[in-house]
Amino acid sequence: MNQVNVVLGSFYGDEGKGKIIDYLSQNADFSVRCSGGNNAGHSIEIDGKKFAFHLIPSGILNESTIAVIGNGVVVDPKVLIEEIENIKANGYRVENLRISDKAHVIFPYHVQMDKLQEELRKEDKIGTTARGIGPVYCDKFERCGIRMGDLINNRFERQLRRNIENKNEIFKIYHYELIDAEEVIKQYKEYAKVLKPYVVDTITLMHNAIEEEKKILCEGAQATLLDIDFGSYPYVTSSNPTIGGVCTGTGIGAKYIGEVYGVLKAYSSRVGEGPYITEQDNEIGDTIRELGHEYGTTTKRPRRCGWLDLVALKYAAMVNGLTGLAINHVDTIGKLDTIKLCVGYEKDGKISMDFGTDVEYLKDCKPVYEEFEGNFGDISGIKNREDLPENAKKYLNRIEEIVKVPIKFIGTGAGREAMIICK
């Protein structure tokens, strides 16, 4: 057994990380979010009840798990408080929540700046979630950010006033609404009171947990192809949702990390702009969207849908050092008569497995497909991989063969129980 296991998104997000995390956190003493903010959306279904988490690690629902919002996360206090209230209202406890004192705080000017920047990008919009994620990470690196520790200890007013003064200069130019510093201070002091009991030094918390040989599960948000370094820049998010972000976002050293699970769907999807080689902007994509309910948890936007891309998956396996795959929605893809699997890119007459995140490079890459038969039937109750229908086995075996990473989990339906755990 490893002390620290990690779950990461392999594509453009929304792979169903929540389902795997929910399962793995049952054996975890700590469940930790490492990066991103409320641009993420994990939905899990328990006893027919659907939970949508944006910030709080989904491990919170396990009685004995401590849920940690790590230092690499950016926190919108309003959203966090709403989430806390919602969990309580559903009869779950939140005393097991810990928030890093070093997590940066999202303020209303970050959200407004996100919207303004999108507008200024004109025809080159990224399609952000408009949650202020890019601007708050900019402030973090510019070194004018305000952290949770500053907020709860009431040492943020001077920096906040200065930030608002500076941002308002920009808002003035573009005739955006000006932010009232005093109002924000008043509001955020209220938030601070509510959140104070949860804020701690989570880095020490993690180190003590490691020394005490506790089990830690790191929950990825976003995904490999949205990574600021490894994704299809500039159509990415402003953090590192890949393996490195786990270390910098928690304070856990690399040597403690054991399994790194890459989550994917048996097809693929993307929200927002940017290249997407296997996209099916046609009837097939529409069918997948309806069958898989591919509408955003965070923004409700219809997701772009397409076939599974093994060139991209192999890239994710390399970047993150994946030790296992978790494939969701195998039931969904099995509803189609014919399934396509992208096994290479063709460019200038040559076929390769080279994934380039350069937008210009990707522009003329054409997917090379292999075809598989679908019609898997109802597989939701199957508990052993060997008992899957032949067509499903063929499809899954081929994925493993090409990517050379073993499949550890197979999602067979929406519910918590609908999953095969491979031996």
- The CA distance from 94 to 71, in Å, is 19
Q: How many CB atoms lie within 10 A of CB 290?
A: 13
Interaction of residue 292 with Mg ion, rule CB under 5 A = no
| The one among 6, 8, 10, 13 contacting ligand IMO by CB under 6 A | 13
Alpha carbon distance 144, 186 (integer Å): 20
Q: Does 240 bind ligand IMO (CB under 6 A)?
A: no
Strands (DSSP E) found in 362-405: 366-373
Looking at 126-134, 166-174, 196-204, 282-290, which segment touches ligand IMO (CB under 6 A)?
126-134
Based on the residue annotation, tell me whether 175 is a catalytic residue of this protein. Answer: no
131 lies in the binding site for ligand IMO (CB under 6 A): yes
* Residue of 5, 8, 14, 410 interacting with ligand IMO (CB under 6 A): 14
Rounded Cα distance, 179 and 293, in Å: 38
Among 4, 5, 6, 9, binds ligand IMO (CB under 6 A): 9
Q: Give me 101's structure tokens.
A: 């004192």
CB 150 within 8 A of CB 156: yes
348 is catalytic: no
Count of chain residues binding ligand IMO (CB under 6 A): 22
Query: Is cis: bond before 302, omega within 30 of 0?
Result: no
Catalytically annotated residue among 42, 104, 110, 329: 42
The dihedral through the CA atoms of 15, 16, 17, 20 has a sign that is negative
Strands (E), 62-132: 66-69, 74-75, 97-100, 104-105
Task: Determine if 128 is a binding residue for ligand IMO (CB under 6 A).
Answer: yes
Which among 225, 228, 224 is positioned nearest to 243, based on CA atoms? 224
Strands 257-265 and 4-9: parallel
Instruction: Pick the closer one to ligand IMO by CB: 9 or 344.
Output: 9
Indicate whether 34 belongs to the interface with ligand IMO (CB under 6 A): no
Binding partner selected for residue 132 from Mg ion, ligand IMO, none, CB under the kind-specific 5 to 8 Å limit: none
**Closest approach of Mg ion to the CB of residue 271, in Å:** 7
Q: Is 123 helix (H, G, I), strand (E, B) or coil?
A: helix
Identify which of residues 122 and 175 has a Cβ nearer to ligand IMO in the complex: 122
Given 222, 268, 332, 412, the residue binding ligand IMO (CB under 6 A): 222
Q: How many CA atoms lie within 13 A of 103 on its CB side?
A: 36
Selected from 28, 84, 146, 221, the binder of ligand IMO by CB under 6 A is 221
Task: Name the residue with the smallest CB distance to ligand IMO.
Answer: 272
**Which is the catalytic residue, given 14, 22, 150, 309?**
14
Q: Contact between 36 and Mg ion (CB under 5 A)?
A: no
SS3 264: strand
Residue 245's binding partner out of ligand IMO, Mg ion, none, with CB under 5 to 8 Å set by partner kind: none
| 60-99: contacts with ligand IMO (CB under 6 A) | none
Chain centroid to CA 18: how far? 9
Cα distance between residue 78 and residue 384, in whole Å: 43
Shortest separation between residue 43's beta carbon and ligand IMO, angstroms:
9
Q: Which of residues 12-31 bind Mg ion (CB under 5 A)?
A: 13-14
Q: How far is the CB of 39 from ligand IMO (least distance, A)?
A: 4
- Check binding of 275 to ligand IMO (CB under 6 A): no
The CA radius of gyration of the chain, in Å to the nearest whole number, is: 21
Number of DSSP helices (H) and strands (E) in the chain, helices first = 14, 20
Instruction: Assess 41 for contact with Mg ion (CB under 5 A).
Output: yes
Catalytic residues: 14, 42
Binding stretches for Mg ion (CB under 5 A): 13-14, 41
